[in-house]
Structure 1
């Protein structure tokens, strides 16, 4: 009886680590596969399974979760710009996913996900909050294009809506407990304003899952981020320019430098760029420079965005996406993100954008 009990316990434990994803694509590409990808703690994406959809446009993925819980992506047909759906698994899940299979004109495909699991529930709620904000921003951008005089009103409405959105997200996080979705939720919290919340999440997850690779990486990153504070010497960044040679941040000593982390694929970054262009034009002759650090992977997309958005300042990138050496040095986990450095190379402000950046620089240069 003791041996049978041990066997049953082992089988139950194995089953608890299993998962099954039942996936349907509304649109398929004949002969092409749907891939299941695993995201490592360093952000590297690894293909671990694949299947050609059935005549009913379906595939099933089964397996055991890695690391007692991990982040996965469903990659539909691995096209140059595939639809990808994030799935957070911790074992024991049976999840149904129906996706468009292709992206729309805005580069996004819709999907539904069904499964009574905390990671599914809260991930969908976070996405709904984010989508609501994106819809408002799109509407405001259209209004500004039609009437520039509305910019002040829209900026005030944006700030109010952003505060409300962040409050909704922060209210959800305690309910997530130590589930990995709480880790993903940190992407929706700006580090420069919500450090207290991020530290609380790190403490909770660090105690509950101290050996988990994603949790360990997050805790370590947060500790380093707390070191990139105002008054600290700005960490060096020395990466390739669009022309080829490298450019070091330290070579710009003697000027006030805005380190601007961005990417061509980042919608909020691209929407912010017209404001940055105006700011640069106003202060570039007063000892102000911008050091753009791109988190792109595609060189052509990076260069095209620079040209299209008329970004005439300094640019660097190692084309390593979230593994960018610059982003790692400054522990950037969301973009756009900025650090303002004084002529001596010390950080004097973080997270300045739009009106806040203009007001800070106006006061900084008023006596110069």
Structure 2
């Protein structure tokens, strides 16, 4: 059975181009197109598409407003198209807050250097959203009051397509309650994610207190134009400090360092703490930033004194880095299937027998806080 898609854009050329690409895949079918947000809201209710692709700037009703109305009336997985600009990044983050699940650059040359790769990636993203067995809107993080002002401060290769993984005994799951703390002592928290990650990270990090005891490294698959805006948004919502990582940053407790888009974030031990190295990385890497690379470098710098969490995302990035971390004695958790936008990255870690816990997004922050508490 094909996945039914509604394409929304005020450009007739772009509607036609996206429709052609979607219809090239035998598993996908464009059932209608709309030229503005108001039409999209009406068609979503009438036609019940399984996925909607949505532009942001449109006449009559913009994409963000349309997303908000669709999610209120007939929740549907929505993929946004956005420009790779600062304003485009902010608008896309607003759309994700409104309920959209994923985004891609509107210019195909910004999706991938190779045209065929760009087409394949768009088809993969649409299918990943459309294959969700039961769509439940991801819980939106409560927007907390802005905290008081505070001072601001090549190896592994991955693939866009998840490789087959061996079936391991199921990991323990905690769908309704957080886990009991193990009592282990940590020096670092790592979180890797992709599709659905911005909302998931916001939900988790807004629950952390300002005195969270460890540095936090965030690896989110995101374009270079987006990471400054995303770090700024998180910093305004969270009690902890959140910043886009820069080369030479010395890690400090209660601060989250977001890997810059288009770069690789590595860590080296510097006395009792660590220092970040931000590198361009190999040109043939599929992910920039790459979860595997950061996880692998952290395993060498901190060994087993790490809690690493793999959240929602397409593909298998993070699996091999998590394997290295586990071999060094680190603790690995994965987000559970029911709360993921795309159960790809967490599934790769869980199915390989690397993750010891599979935890629902609603319980992840509480679980991390309990596990991270100093004895």
Higher helix share: 1
Q: Of the two structures, which has the highest relative contact order with CA contacts closer than 8 Å and spacing of 6 or more? A: 2
TM-score range (shorter-chain normalised) is 0.3 to 0.5
Q: Taking structure 1 as the reference length, what is the TM-score of the superposition?
A: 0.34
Q: Taking structure 2 as the reference length, what is the TM-score of the superposition?
A: 0.34
